[in-house]
Chains A and B, each alone.
Chain A
Amino acid sequence: MEQPPETGDLAPAELARRLTAACARHFGCTVRVEGLFRHSGGASRQTWGFDATLEHAGSPQRDALVLRRDPPRSAGTGALTGETSLALDRGLEFELLQVAQRHGVPVPAPLFALTPGDGLGEGFVMRHVPGTAIARELLRDPRYARTRANIVPQLGGILARLHAIPLPELPALRRTTPAEAIAQQRHVLDTIGEPHPVYELAFTWLERRLPAVDVAPRFVHGDFRTGNFLAAEEGVTAILDWEIAHTGDPLEDLGWMCIKSWRFGAVENPAGGFGSREALFAAYEAAGGEKVDVARARWWEIFGTARWGVICMAQAWKHLSGAEHSVELASIGRRCAETEVDLLQLLAEA
């Protein structure tokens, strides 16, 4: 079999073969890869779980690992909109995991980055972390009844540590001011070209109430929310999905976490469905985070609601443009109305 850099995506058997070779290269021994399975999620940014058995001279050692990869992009699907263009490449995501881990943020331990010779596209391998990210289970399953009380204090503490990471330790990241954040979303709206009066109303409202620009920029996760962390019965085990990380106002992460869409039906608990905003802010401050300016956090919550609406449009657009055919992406387009309901409510209350 020839092994040139492929142009399309790989059959699972070929993926397993190349992954086995990449693991052998990294671990310096024969590796057996088993139980390779694909997590749900996009076709362009894939996550695979697998078991790797390292055949050391002594006893074999079995590790649960995860592959995060972007297949090589096919021509003609570039210039996608919105969050896609803001997303970090896998190499940067790997570096961020390394830095976050050093600073006590729970993450899947990053093991090694893929190289071009691996023929797997861009990506990296990390350790599997026990726990579930599924909001429905965490919010409703009796086995997490005691866990639920711990989640908000833990997330507040983790965010404080994350925001305290000194910027010089991080790879170069895009800096996003509130005004730029609005401009990014309007750019997506204009690219897609489907008029949404409620989003325009919200962005103009936000533009007229921009937070002070002298906020010292901090490391911002960018997608810190229920659904993007793993928790087991003892609590949060890992923060996932670092690909929208940037620098800017740390309260962006707190506001984003509180938008109604991340409460997964537990609407009475703004902090990700698990507790109050006040409890989240208190935990954040107690762990060394800055005193939370409630009005600024609210600005980011309203911005986040509109941003999620625009992401819904952009996800559907991936399907509609032919870049990535998916019933899941297509259906997300119909979730815009949820954020429009929420925005009208938020602006009426403001």
Chain B
Amino acid sequence: MAQDRPHAPELLRAIREFLAADVLPKLEGRTQFHLKVAINSLAILERETTNAATADAAELARLKALLGRDGSLPELNAELARQLRAGLRDETDAALMAHLRATIADKIAISNPKWR
């Protein structure tokens, strides 16, 4: 059964805004630094709870096509990693590179969209 509002990203945002506005100014030193880290992590989770399911599904579909087999995301990534370590695929493989670019673009959009 679906949970009531707020949805996960909405609740995470409420927590993040409370910590940033009401708690952060009362802290100092190491504890304040760690709260900044925590607030940043909550922002990652807001984006993740909104976008990760779509991104994971797209990554899985691409991996299945690329490797020509079925499997879970961890299994297929482990297989791709093995092939890359063994040199069976490399940067000259256009389909591989398109997959990696799409995957990493989705990852960074969640973990740090400002990265450039």
Chain B contacts for A347, CB-based, 8 A: 91
The verdict on A201 contacting B84 (CB below 8 Å), with A328-B34, A338-B108 known, is yes
Known contacts A334-B112, A340-B108, A344-B97; can you find 13 more A-B pairs with CB under 8 A?
A195-B78, A196-B81, A197-B77, A197-B80, A198-B100, A201-B91, A201-B100, A208-B87, A327-B37, A331-B38, A331-B44, A341-B105, A348-B91
For window 314-343 of chain A, which residues contact chain B by CB distance below 8 Å? Answer: 326-328, 330-331, 334-338, 340-341
Asked if B30 lies at the interface with its beta carbon under 8 angstroms from chain A, I say yes
Asked if B90 lies at the interface with its beta carbon under 8 angstroms from chain A, I say yes
Asked if A103 lies at the interface with its beta carbon under 8 angstroms from chain B, I say no
Inter-chain CA distance A40–B96, complex, in Å, is 41
Q: How far is the CB of A93 from chain B (nearest CB, A)?
A: 22
Q: Which of B77, B96, B110, B111 has the most CB of A within 10 A?
A: B111
For window 65-104 of chain B, which residues contact chain A by CB distance below 8 Å? Answer: 74, 77-78, 80-82, 84-85, 87, 90-91, 96-97, 100-101, 103-104
Fill in one digit per residue for A200-219: 1 if any B CB lies within 8 Å of its CB, else 0: 11011100100000000000
In this complex, how many residues of chain A approach chain B with their Cβ under 8 Å: the count is: 30
Asked if A102 lies at the interface with its beta carbon under 8 angstroms from chain B, I say no
Asked if A38 lies at the interface with its beta carbon under 8 angstroms from chain B, I say yes
The residue from B30, B90, B111 contacting A38, defined by CB atoms under 8 A apart: B30
Closest-by-CB residue of B relative to A203 is: B85
**Contact status A201-B41, CB under 8 Å:** no
The residue from B38, B96, B97, B115 contacting A327, defined by CB atoms under 8 A apart: B38
For window 3-43 of chain A, which residues contact chain B by CB distance below 8 Å? Answer: 37-38, 40
Q: How far is the CB of B44 from chain A (nearest CB, A)?
A: 6
Inter-chain CA distance A195–B110, complex, in Å, is 19
The verdict on A40 contacting B33 (CB below 8 Å), with A198-B100, A267-B116 known, is yes
In this complex, how many residues of chain B approach chain A with their Cβ under 8 Å: the count is: 34
Asked if A186 lies at the interface with its beta carbon under 8 angstroms from chain B, I say yes
30 contacts between A and B (CB under 8 A): A38-B30, A40-B29, A195-B81, A195-B82, A196-B81, A197-B80, A197-B84, A200-B80, A201-B90, A201-B100, A203-B85, A204-B87, A204-B90, A267-B116, A327-B38, A328-B34, A328-B37, A331-B37, A336-B111, A337-B104, A337-B111, A337-B115, A338-B108, A338-B115, A340-B100, A340-B107, A341-B108, A344-B101, A344-B104, A347-B91
Q: Which 6 A-B pairs have the closest CB atoms?
A: A200-B84, A195-B81, A337-B107, A195-B77, A195-B78, A334-B111
Chain A contacts for B96, CB-based, 8 A: 201
